[in-house]
Amino acid sequence: MSSHPHLRDRTFRRRELKVENVSAAASGQPSKQNTGTAAGQDALAVRLGDLARSLQNEVDTDAILAGMVQAAIELIPGVEEGSISVVVGRKEVGSRAASSDLPKRIDAIQMEVNEGPCLDAVYEQKTVRVADMSTEKRWPRFAERAYAAGAGSMLSFQLYVEGGNLGALNLYAKEAGAFTDESEHVGLLVAAHAAVAFAEAQKTEQLQEALTTRDLIGQAKGILMERHKITDQQAFAILTHASQNSNLKLRDVAIRLVTSGEIPSQTQH
């Protein structure tokens, strides 16, 4: 995620709008603790429908993920904080849309010790619940540090599996025993809607990256065509040769040319 202040301000405002949307959907409806009743289930269905429509109309990936986390906090019994873990190529694990510093700290611990509920939810199980972090034995290194950081309970749901791209919705509470069977039931419903939004966010992100790459390569070819009075095909051949020779992606070669006017010519180490 970009650290540019204007982008941070925009993302934060979009997150505020998502909070307002979810709160508006909940207005006049039973609290999330009442979803066990017929009326509560009907209200939950309405609120999930509102969530799905709201996220479908959103084009900013970070806002989509933030909206998913905020909806989970609003709708699932026991939840105080949340975040989303994203795994690309089954290798790179990142934490996004954290609602506060607590999930950021817990997610960082999981990545550091390479064990924990969200990693199990991503790779192995669809749902993982930690009733009491202070007595948790499945991930001893993680549990001890997570409890010290302030997590008493945790609930993780697998969101999406397509190729090498994975995700998990991570939910936290400061007290032990915060999550019940109802929490899991409602959480599965929220996660099902969130998974669709997550998939769309991934596709949108990939499309945006592809379009950006195409534009960068187009700019780079234009520079070479103007500089050397050559054809489009010849300019592209120069870029691909530079990519192979420098061991850099074609996109990175184009960025170098567009930003500095130079083409890398030596193998990068």
The Cα–Cα gap between 38 and 44 comes to 10
Q: Which of 119, 120, 146 is nearest to 132 (CA)?
A: 146
The Cα–Cα gap between 160 and 114 comes to 20
Rounded to the nearest angstrom, the gap between the alpha carbon of residue 82 and the centroid of all alpha carbons in its chain is: 11
Q: Report the pLDDT value the prediction gives residue 57, as an integer from 0 to 100.
A: 64
Q: Which two tokens stand for residue 238?
A: 């120069």
Task: Please list the alpha-helical segments (H only) found in the chain.
Answer: 5-26, 38-56, 61-75, 101-113, 117-123, 140-149, 181-228, 232-246, 250-260
Are the beta carbons of 169 and 82 closer than 8 angstroms? yes
| 96 and 173 belong to one structural domain | yes
Place of tokens 């849309």: 97
Residue 233 lies in a domain: yes
| 167 and 220 belong to one structural domain | no
Q: Which two tokens stand for residue 139?
A: 């991930």
**Structural domain for 129, as ranges:** 79-179
pLDDT above 90 covers a percentage of the chain that reads 43
Distances (CA, A) of 8 to 1, 2, 14, 15: 9, 7, 10, 10
| 90 and 141 belong to one structural domain | yes
Residue-wise pLDDT for 16-39, tens only, equals 433 344 444 333 343 554 555 666
Q: Which of 84, 82, 137 is nearest to 115 (CA)?
A: 137
| 119 and 174 belong to one structural domain | yes
Residue-wise pLDDT for 107-123, tens only, equals 999 889 989 998 888 88
Instruction: Give the angle subtended at the CA of 192 by the CAs of 2 and 119, to the nearest 5°.
Output: 60
In the chain, which residues have pLDDT < 50?
1-30, 33, 266-269
The Cα–Cα gap between 61 and 86 comes to 13
Residue 147 lies in a domain: yes
Which domain CATH number covers 161? 3.30.450.80
Q: Report the pLDDT value the prediction gives residue 93, as an integer from 0 to 100.
A: 74
Q: Report the pLDDT value the prediction gives residue 30, as an integer from 0 to 100.
A: 39
| 83 and 175 belong to one structural domain | yes
Q: Which two tokens stand for residue 71?
A: 């909806």
Cα end-to-end span (Å), the chain: 26
**Domains: count for the chain:** 2
Within 10 A of 251 (CB to CB), how many other CB atoms are there?
18
The Cα–Cα gap between 142 and 133 comes to 9
Helix axes 181-228, 232-246, angle to 10 degrees: 120
Residue 167 lies in a domain: yes
Single residue among 179, 196, 228 that ends a domain in this structure:
179
Place of tokens 């929220």: 190
Which domain CATH number covers 234? 1.10.10.10
